[in-house]
Amino acid sequence: MKYSFIKPRQKNFLSLFSKIWVIFIALMVAFMLAFDFYIVMEAKSFKVGVVELVSQREELENRIDQDDEYIGVILRQKALSEEIFSNNTLLKESMKNLFDLVPDQITLKKVQMERNSLVLYGVAPTQDTFNFLLAAPLKSIFHTSNTTFYLTSEGWYNFVSINKILGMDGVRE
């Protein structure tokens, strides 16, 4: 006995529309798993990158500290060289002024110049020539000025003139 007028057909478990939705959902799950895997790999890569950047930063900070120390050394050397240059300039000017101060009648044999003293060795025709032409200017510059004369066989006088500037506390330096 047949109750149907048409031949029965096979019925699919899922309809075409349901198959499309299942495929779409499976693709979305696969895409999300792939994206999650990508995010996890990138996070690990960023952690490794952060560790590398931290070590690079520490190296750069160490190099900056070393460079700062080196710059400090160079600046100290520069200041020292500038001080030496200015001292040399002052010494040169002082020597020029000293030699300009010495008259033609007096001959200097040796000059010892220190920070606060000047010792002159030389020859003068007479003691008065030395006292009037050189001792007076020296006394105006230095606080103490002592001169010792020695008579030579030619009748001239060898002299040693010791001139000192007193320090701030009044004590000879």
Q: Quote the pTM value.
A: 0.51
Rounded CA separation 137/158 (Å): 19
For residue 150, which phi and psi values (nearest 5 degrees)?
-130, 125
pLDDT tens for 22-51 read 999 999 999 999 999 999 999 999 999 999
- 83: tokens are 């001080």
Strand residue runs (E) in the chain: 107-113, 117-124, 144-151, 157-164
What architecture is domain 104-173?
2-Layer Sandwich (3.30)
- 2: tokens are 């047949």
CA separation, residue 52 to residues 14, 15, 48, 49 (Å): 54, 55, 6, 5
Calculate mean pLDDT across residues 138-167: 88
pLDDT, residue 32, reads 97
- The neighbour count for residue 23, using CB atoms within 10 Å, is 10
pLDDT tens for 87-131 read 888 878 877 887 888 888 888 899 888 878 889 999 999 888 888
